[in-house]
Structure 1
Protein backbone atom coordinates (compact mmCIF):
# COMPACT_ATOMS: atom_id res chain seq x y z
CA UNK A 1 0.00 0.00 0.00
CA UNK A 2 1.55 3.34 -1.00
CA UNK A 3 2.23 5.97 1.66
CA UNK A 4 1.99 9.61 0.56
CA UNK A 5 3.85 12.26 2.59
CA UNK A 6 1.76 15.38 3.12
CA UNK A 7 3.37 18.84 2.93
CA UNK A 8 4.85 20.41 6.06
CA UNK A 9 3.81 23.94 5.09
CA UNK A 10 1.73 25.74 5.84
CA UNK A 11 1.70 24.38 9.38
CA UNK A 12 -1.76 23.59 10.76
CA UNK A 13 -3.42 26.33 12.76
CA UNK A 14 -4.70 23.68 15.19
CA UNK A 15 -4.48 19.95 15.88
CA UNK A 16 -7.06 17.88 17.74
CA UNK A 17 -5.97 14.66 19.45
CA UNK A 18 -8.32 11.71 19.89
CA UNK A 19 -7.40 8.37 21.47
CA UNK A 20 -9.29 5.53 19.81
CA UNK A 21 -9.20 3.15 22.74
CA UNK A 22 -9.40 -0.60 22.53
CA UNK A 23 -9.82 -1.14 26.29
CA UNK A 24 -12.48 -3.46 27.63
CA UNK A 25 -14.70 -2.27 30.49
CA UNK A 26 -16.22 -5.01 32.66
CA UNK A 27 -19.33 -4.00 34.62
CA UNK A 28 -20.82 -6.37 37.16
CA UNK A 29 -24.49 -7.20 36.61
CA UNK A 30 -24.86 -7.37 40.39
CA UNK A 31 -23.55 -3.86 41.13
CA UNK A 32 -20.00 -4.88 41.97
CA UNK A 33 -16.79 -3.12 41.06
CA UNK A 34 -16.06 -2.05 37.50
CA UNK A 35 -12.80 -3.15 35.88
CA UNK A 36 -10.88 -1.83 32.89
CA UNK A 37 -8.70 -4.16 30.89
CA UNK A 38 -6.13 -2.55 28.66
CA UNK A 39 -5.76 -4.31 25.31
CA UNK A 40 -3.52 -3.89 22.30
CA UNK A 41 -4.93 -1.86 19.48
CA UNK A 42 -5.52 1.61 20.94
CA UNK A 43 -4.40 4.21 18.42
CA UNK A 44 -4.69 7.89 17.58
CA UNK A 45 -6.70 10.09 15.25
CA UNK A 46 -5.37 13.62 14.74
CA UNK A 47 -7.53 16.36 13.24
CA UNK A 48 -5.68 19.18 11.49
CA UNK A 49 -7.15 22.58 10.68
CA UNK A 50 -5.13 24.34 8.01
CA UNK A 51 -4.91 28.13 7.93
CA UNK A 52 -6.35 30.16 5.06
CA UNK A 53 -4.13 29.80 2.00
CA UNK A 54 -4.15 30.63 -1.68
CA UNK A 55 -5.78 28.02 -3.90
CA UNK A 56 -2.47 27.49 -5.74
CA UNK A 57 -0.75 26.68 -2.41
CA UNK A 58 -3.60 24.31 -1.46
CA UNK A 59 -3.02 22.26 -4.61
CA UNK A 60 0.03 20.71 -2.90
CA UNK A 61 -2.41 19.09 -0.43
CA UNK A 62 -4.29 17.20 -3.18
CA UNK A 63 -3.00 13.85 -1.83
CA UNK A 64 -5.73 14.20 0.82
CA UNK A 65 -8.13 13.13 -1.95
CA UNK A 66 -6.20 9.97 -2.89
CA UNK A 67 -8.15 6.77 -2.34
CA UNK A 68 -6.74 3.44 -1.23
CA UNK A 69 -3.54 4.91 0.21
CA UNK A 70 -2.29 5.99 3.59
CA UNK A 71 -0.75 9.37 4.30
CA UNK A 72 2.12 10.49 6.49
CA UNK A 73 1.71 13.73 8.46
CA UNK A 74 3.99 15.46 10.93
CA UNK A 75 2.63 15.62 14.49
CA UNK A 76 2.63 19.22 15.71
CA UNK A 77 3.42 20.00 19.33
CA UNK A 78 3.09 23.82 19.39
CA UNK A 79 5.26 25.63 21.90
CA UNK A 80 7.15 22.44 22.75
CA UNK A 81 10.77 22.23 21.61
CA UNK A 82 11.69 18.57 21.20
CA UNK A 83 15.38 19.51 21.42
CA UNK A 84 18.13 17.11 20.35
CA UNK A 85 17.20 13.58 21.48
CA UNK A 86 20.07 11.93 19.59
CA UNK A 87 19.51 8.99 17.25
CA UNK A 88 16.91 6.91 19.12
CA UNK A 89 16.55 3.24 18.26
CA UNK A 90 14.58 0.39 19.81
CA UNK A 91 16.81 -1.59 22.20
CA UNK A 92 15.90 -5.26 21.96
CA UNK A 93 13.41 -7.11 19.79
CA UNK A 94 10.04 -8.47 20.85
CA UNK A 95 9.03 -5.75 23.29
CA UNK A 96 5.40 -5.74 24.42
CA UNK A 97 3.23 -4.02 26.98
CA UNK A 98 3.36 -0.32 27.89
CA UNK A 99 7.12 0.29 28.10
CA UNK A 100 9.48 0.95 25.19
CA UNK A 101 13.23 0.58 25.81
CA UNK A 102 15.24 2.93 23.61
CA UNK A 103 18.98 3.58 23.18
CA UNK A 104 21.02 6.00 21.08
CA UNK A 105 19.63 8.94 23.06
CA UNK A 106 21.47 12.04 24.25
CA UNK A 107 22.45 11.79 27.93
CA UNK A 108 20.35 14.07 30.08
CA UNK A 109 17.61 14.45 27.45
CA UNK A 110 14.17 14.55 29.06
CA UNK A 111 11.23 12.83 27.42
CA UNK A 112 8.19 14.71 28.71
CA UNK A 113 4.87 13.28 29.84
CA UNK A 114 2.45 13.62 26.90
CA UNK A 115 5.25 13.92 24.33
CA UNK A 116 4.54 12.13 21.05
CA UNK A 117 6.93 9.62 19.49
CA UNK A 118 6.59 7.26 16.56
CA UNK A 119 8.20 3.87 16.00
CA UNK A 120 8.95 2.66 12.46
CA UNK A 121 8.56 -1.13 12.26
CA UNK A 122 8.56 -2.99 8.94
CA UNK A 123 8.22 0.35 7.12
CA UNK A 124 5.07 1.35 9.05
CA UNK A 125 4.78 4.03 11.72
CA UNK A 126 3.04 3.55 15.06
CA UNK A 127 2.28 6.66 17.13
CA UNK A 128 2.55 6.70 20.93
CA UNK A 129 2.64 9.20 23.83
CA UNK A 130 4.90 9.09 26.86
CA UNK A 131 2.97 8.47 30.09
CA UNK A 132 5.57 10.09 32.40
CA UNK A 133 8.73 12.20 32.35
CA UNK A 134 11.91 10.18 31.77
CA UNK A 135 15.51 11.43 31.90
CA UNK A 136 17.99 9.62 29.67
CA UNK A 137 20.97 8.03 31.42
CA UNK A 138 23.76 6.15 29.66
CA UNK A 139 22.10 6.87 26.31
CA UNK A 140 19.08 4.71 27.24
CA UNK A 141 15.56 5.18 28.52
CA UNK A 142 12.61 2.98 29.39
CA UNK A 143 9.70 5.08 28.17
CA UNK A 144 6.33 4.37 29.79
CA UNK A 145 3.63 4.63 27.12
CA UNK A 146 0.03 5.79 27.43
CA UNK A 147 -1.12 2.79 25.33
CA UNK A 148 0.21 -0.71 24.72
CA UNK A 149 2.66 -1.38 21.90
CA UNK A 150 0.51 -2.44 18.96
CA UNK A 151 3.19 -4.45 17.18
CA UNK A 152 6.45 -5.80 18.63
CA UNK A 153 9.29 -3.66 17.25
CA UNK A 154 12.55 -5.18 16.02
CA UNK A 155 15.92 -4.35 17.54
CA UNK A 156 17.26 -1.05 16.14
CA UNK A 157 13.91 0.07 14.68
CA UNK A 158 13.89 3.87 14.34
CA UNK A 159 12.13 5.86 17.07
CA UNK A 160 11.09 9.34 15.91
CA UNK A 161 11.20 11.71 18.87
CA UNK A 162 12.45 14.96 17.30
CA UNK A 163 9.78 14.83 14.58
CA UNK A 164 7.09 12.22 15.24
CA UNK A 165 4.75 11.30 12.40
CA UNK A 166 1.28 9.81 12.13
CA UNK A 167 0.55 7.32 9.36
CA UNK A 168 -3.01 6.45 8.49
CA UNK A 169 -6.08 7.03 6.41
CA UNK A 170 -7.60 10.45 5.68
CA UNK A 171 -11.04 10.77 7.23
CA UNK A 172 -13.45 13.68 7.62
CA UNK A 173 -11.95 15.84 4.88
CA UNK A 174 -13.95 19.05 4.89
CA UNK A 175 -15.25 20.70 1.77
CA UNK A 176 -12.68 22.96 0.14
CA UNK A 177 -14.41 26.21 -0.76
CA UNK A 178 -12.49 28.77 -2.82
CA UNK A 179 -13.60 32.36 -2.31
CA UNK A 180 -13.51 35.24 -4.75
CA UNK A 181 -10.25 36.28 -3.06
CA UNK A 182 -8.78 32.92 -4.25
CA UNK A 183 -8.28 31.83 -0.63
CA UNK A 184 -9.33 28.46 0.77
CA UNK A 185 -9.26 26.72 4.13
CA UNK A 186 -10.02 23.13 5.12
CA UNK A 187 -9.54 20.47 7.78
CA UNK A 188 -8.98 16.72 7.81
CA UNK A 189 -8.36 13.81 10.17
CA UNK A 190 -5.59 11.23 9.90
CA UNK A 191 -6.67 8.03 11.66
CA UNK A 192 -4.04 5.38 12.31
CA UNK A 193 -4.67 1.95 10.85
CA UNK A 194 -5.64 -0.68 13.43
Structure 2
Protein backbone atom coordinates (compact mmCIF):
# COMPACT_ATOMS: atom_id res chain seq x y z
CA UNK A 1 0.00 0.00 0.00
CA UNK A 2 1.36 3.42 -0.92
CA UNK A 3 1.74 6.11 1.74
CA UNK A 4 -0.71 9.00 1.55
CA UNK A 5 0.30 12.35 3.01
CA UNK A 6 -0.24 14.13 5.28
CA UNK A 7 0.37 11.46 7.90
CA UNK A 8 -1.07 11.38 11.40
CA UNK A 9 1.43 11.25 14.25
CA UNK A 10 2.09 7.82 15.82
CA UNK A 11 -0.32 7.13 18.66
CA UNK A 12 2.51 6.34 21.09
CA UNK A 13 3.53 9.93 21.65
CA UNK A 14 4.59 11.59 24.88
CA UNK A 15 6.47 14.84 24.53
CA UNK A 16 9.38 15.71 26.75
CA UNK A 17 9.41 19.24 25.38
CA UNK A 18 8.24 21.27 22.44
CA UNK A 19 9.80 24.52 21.30
CA UNK A 20 7.00 26.09 19.30
CA UNK A 21 9.17 28.63 17.49
CA UNK A 22 8.07 30.92 14.68
CA UNK A 23 9.65 33.20 12.10
CA UNK A 24 8.85 36.52 10.49
CA UNK A 25 11.06 38.04 7.80
CA UNK A 26 11.83 41.74 8.12
CA UNK A 27 14.59 44.13 7.13
CA UNK A 28 15.64 47.59 8.26
CA UNK A 29 17.00 50.15 5.84
CA UNK A 30 18.72 53.16 7.40
CA UNK A 31 20.35 56.25 5.93
CA UNK A 32 24.15 56.14 6.38
CA UNK A 33 24.08 59.91 6.92
CA UNK A 34 21.21 60.50 9.37
CA UNK A 35 20.45 57.06 10.73
CA UNK A 36 16.79 57.53 9.83
CA UNK A 37 15.32 54.31 8.59
CA UNK A 38 12.30 52.22 7.91
CA UNK A 39 11.31 48.63 8.51
CA UNK A 40 10.40 46.39 5.60
CA UNK A 41 8.01 43.59 6.45
CA UNK A 42 7.89 40.63 4.07
CA UNK A 43 4.89 38.29 3.92
CA UNK A 44 6.98 35.34 5.15
CA UNK A 45 5.48 33.94 8.37
CA UNK A 46 6.17 30.38 9.41
CA UNK A 47 5.98 27.97 12.34
CA UNK A 48 9.34 26.28 13.07
CA UNK A 49 8.82 23.85 15.98
CA UNK A 50 11.33 21.49 17.55
CA UNK A 51 9.76 18.48 19.28
CA UNK A 52 11.48 16.09 21.69
CA UNK A 53 9.92 12.82 22.76
CA UNK A 54 10.35 11.21 26.18
CA UNK A 55 12.92 8.42 26.38
CA UNK A 56 11.35 5.20 25.15
CA UNK A 57 12.10 1.53 24.74
CA UNK A 58 12.44 -0.24 21.43
CA UNK A 59 8.78 -0.99 20.66
CA UNK A 60 7.75 2.68 20.66
CA UNK A 61 11.05 4.01 19.33
CA UNK A 62 10.97 1.61 16.38
CA UNK A 63 7.51 2.86 15.40
CA UNK A 64 8.62 6.50 15.60
CA UNK A 65 11.83 5.93 13.65
CA UNK A 66 9.95 4.12 10.89
CA UNK A 67 7.36 6.93 10.81
CA UNK A 68 10.09 9.56 10.45
CA UNK A 69 11.72 7.59 7.63
CA UNK A 70 8.37 7.17 5.89
CA UNK A 71 8.30 10.95 5.43
CA UNK A 72 11.25 10.62 3.04
CA UNK A 73 13.16 13.54 4.52
CA UNK A 74 11.59 16.90 3.75
CA UNK A 75 9.26 15.58 1.05
CA UNK A 76 6.47 13.99 3.12
CA UNK A 77 4.00 15.93 5.23
CA UNK A 78 2.17 15.31 8.49
CA UNK A 79 -0.46 16.92 10.71
CA UNK A 80 0.81 18.64 13.85
CA UNK A 81 -0.54 20.91 16.57
CA UNK A 82 1.10 22.50 19.58
CA UNK A 83 0.85 19.86 22.33
CA UNK A 84 0.83 22.61 24.97
CA UNK A 85 -2.21 24.35 23.44
CA UNK A 86 -4.82 21.71 22.59
CA UNK A 87 -7.76 23.96 23.49
CA UNK A 88 -8.45 27.70 23.89
CA UNK A 89 -7.99 29.56 27.15
CA UNK A 90 -10.85 31.83 26.16
CA UNK A 91 -14.55 31.16 26.78
CA UNK A 92 -14.65 29.11 23.55
CA UNK A 93 -13.22 26.22 25.59
CA UNK A 94 -16.64 25.64 27.15
CA UNK A 95 -18.89 27.71 24.86
CA UNK A 96 -17.59 27.23 21.32
CA UNK A 97 -20.74 27.68 19.28
CA UNK A 98 -20.38 26.60 15.64
CA UNK A 99 -17.91 29.12 14.20
CA UNK A 100 -17.78 29.43 10.40
CA UNK A 101 -15.96 31.64 7.93
CA UNK A 102 -18.21 34.59 7.04
CA UNK A 103 -17.73 35.38 3.36
CA UNK A 104 -15.42 34.09 0.64
CA UNK A 105 -12.35 35.86 -0.75
CA UNK A 106 -10.88 36.98 2.57
CA UNK A 107 -7.14 37.61 2.76
CA UNK A 108 -4.51 39.15 5.01
CA UNK A 109 -4.25 38.92 8.77
CA UNK A 110 -7.93 39.25 9.66
CA UNK A 111 -10.82 36.84 9.27
CA UNK A 112 -14.54 37.54 9.71
CA UNK A 113 -16.54 34.71 11.23
CA UNK A 114 -20.07 33.98 12.38
CA UNK A 115 -21.75 31.13 14.22
CA UNK A 116 -20.01 31.93 17.51
CA UNK A 117 -22.08 32.38 20.69
CA UNK A 118 -23.56 35.85 21.00
CA UNK A 119 -22.07 38.60 23.15
CA UNK A 120 -19.21 36.67 24.75
CA UNK A 121 -16.21 38.59 26.09
CA UNK A 122 -12.80 36.99 25.58
CA UNK A 123 -14.29 34.18 23.53
CA UNK A 124 -10.74 33.63 22.30
CA UNK A 125 -7.66 34.94 24.07
CA UNK A 126 -4.42 36.15 22.60
CA UNK A 127 -2.29 33.08 21.82
CA UNK A 128 -5.17 30.63 21.36
CA UNK A 129 -4.88 28.47 18.25
CA UNK A 130 -7.41 27.71 15.51
CA UNK A 131 -7.38 25.49 12.44
CA UNK A 132 -8.66 26.41 9.00
CA UNK A 133 -9.10 23.71 6.37
CA UNK A 134 -8.63 19.98 6.88
CA UNK A 135 -6.31 17.22 5.76
CA UNK A 136 -3.83 18.44 3.16
CA UNK A 137 -5.26 21.98 3.37
CA UNK A 138 -5.12 22.33 7.18
CA UNK A 139 -3.54 25.59 8.38
CA UNK A 140 -2.68 26.44 11.99
CA UNK A 141 -3.18 30.05 13.10
CA UNK A 142 -2.66 31.91 16.36
CA UNK A 143 -5.03 34.59 17.64
CA UNK A 144 -3.18 37.92 17.93
CA UNK A 145 -5.84 39.95 19.76
CA UNK A 146 -8.59 39.10 22.25
CA UNK A 147 -11.79 38.16 20.43
CA UNK A 148 -15.16 39.38 21.70
CA UNK A 149 -18.26 38.22 19.83
CA UNK A 150 -21.09 40.49 18.75
CA UNK A 151 -24.77 40.17 19.62
CA UNK A 152 -25.23 38.16 16.44
CA UNK A 153 -22.32 35.81 17.10
CA UNK A 154 -19.94 37.46 14.66
CA UNK A 155 -16.31 38.41 15.26
CA UNK A 156 -13.13 39.50 13.51
CA UNK A 157 -10.10 37.32 14.21
CA UNK A 158 -6.59 38.76 14.01
CA UNK A 159 -4.37 35.91 12.83
CA UNK A 160 -0.72 34.91 12.76
CA UNK A 161 0.36 33.78 10.25
CA UNK A 162 -1.77 35.74 7.83
CA UNK A 163 -4.06 33.82 5.50
CA UNK A 164 -2.17 32.08 2.69
CA UNK A 165 -5.34 31.03 0.91
CA UNK A 166 -8.83 32.45 1.07
CA UNK A 167 -10.99 30.02 3.04
CA UNK A 168 -14.34 29.09 1.58
CA UNK A 169 -17.47 30.76 2.87
CA UNK A 170 -19.06 28.78 5.74
CA UNK A 171 -16.01 26.54 6.15
CA UNK A 172 -15.56 25.28 9.69
CA UNK A 173 -13.13 26.74 12.23
CA UNK A 174 -11.56 24.08 14.48
CA UNK A 175 -10.94 25.14 18.08
CA UNK A 176 -10.02 21.86 19.79
CA UNK A 177 -6.82 20.02 18.90
CA UNK A 178 -6.14 22.29 15.92
CA UNK A 179 -3.43 21.17 13.49
CA UNK A 180 -1.64 22.28 10.36
CA UNK A 181 0.38 20.54 7.67
CA UNK A 182 4.11 20.34 8.43
CA UNK A 183 7.23 18.81 6.93
CA UNK A 184 10.66 18.02 8.36
CA UNK A 185 13.62 20.32 7.80
CA UNK A 186 16.18 17.53 7.46
CA UNK A 187 16.69 14.39 5.38
CA UNK A 188 18.48 12.65 8.28
CA UNK A 189 16.78 10.41 10.86
CA UNK A 190 18.89 9.93 13.99
CA UNK A 191 18.00 7.20 16.50
CA UNK A 192 20.33 7.57 19.52
CA UNK A 193 20.23 4.72 22.04
CA UNK A 194 21.88 4.47 25.48
CA UNK A 195 23.30 1.36 27.14
CA UNK A 196 20.06 0.80 29.04
CA UNK A 197 18.17 0.44 25.77
CA UNK A 198 16.37 3.80 25.88
CA UNK A 199 15.95 5.82 22.71
CA UNK A 200 15.86 9.62 22.57
CA UNK A 201 14.21 11.03 19.46
CA UNK A 202 13.68 14.63 18.40
CA UNK A 203 12.90 16.39 15.13
CA UNK A 204 12.58 19.88 13.66
CA UNK A 205 9.85 20.86 11.25
CA UNK A 206 8.15 23.77 9.49
CA UNK A 207 4.62 24.35 8.31
CA UNK A 208 4.37 23.42 4.65
CA UNK A 209 4.17 26.25 2.12
CA UNK A 210 3.88 24.08 -0.96
CA UNK A 211 0.96 24.46 -3.30
User: Which of the five TM-score ranges fits, normalised by the shorter chain?
Assistant: 0.7 to 0.9
Instruction: Tell me the residue number matched to 1:177.
Output: 192
Are 1:54 and 2:67 counterparts?
no
Instruction: Tell me the residue number matched to 2:147.
Output: 134
Identify the match of residue 127 of structure 2 among 109, 114, 117. 114
Are 1:77 and 2:84 counterparts?
yes
Consecutive unaligned residues of structure 2, counting only runs of 5 or more, are: none
Instruction: Tell me the residue number matched to 1:41.
Output: 44
Partner of 2:20, secondary structure, is strand
Instruction: Tell me the residue number matched to 1:7.
Output: 10
Consecutive unaligned residues of structure 1, counting only runs of 5 or more, are: none
Distance 1:112 1:4 in 2: 30
Shift in alpha-carbon separation, 1:189–1:158, aligned structure 2, 3 A? farther
Distance 1:157 1:10 in 2: 30
Are 1:95 and 2:106 counterparts?
yes
Shift in alpha-carbon separation, 1:40–1:178, aligned structure 2, 3 A? same
Q: CA deviation at 1:10?
A: 2.5
Partner of 1:86, secondary structure, is coil
Q: Once superposed, what is the RMSD of the aligned Cα atoms? A: 2.7
Structure 1 runs (4+) deviating above 6 angstroms are none
Distance 1:123 1:167 in 2: 7
Distance 1:118 1:38 in 2: 24
Kept in 1: contact 2:49–2:205 (CA 8 A): yes
Query: Going by fraction, where is strand more abundant, 1 or 2?
Result: 1
Q: CA deviation at 1:113?
A: 0.6
Q: CA deviation at 1:50?
A: 0.9
Distance 2:87 2:167 in 1: 27
Query: In the comparison of the two structures, how many residue pairs are matched?
Result: 194
Shift in alpha-carbon separation, 1:38–1:150, aligned structure 2, 3 A? farther
Distance 1:34 1:174 in 2: 44
Partner of 1:5, secondary structure, is coil
Partner of 2:60, secondary structure, is helix
Shift in alpha-carbon separation, 1:37–1:94, aligned structure 2, 3 A? farther
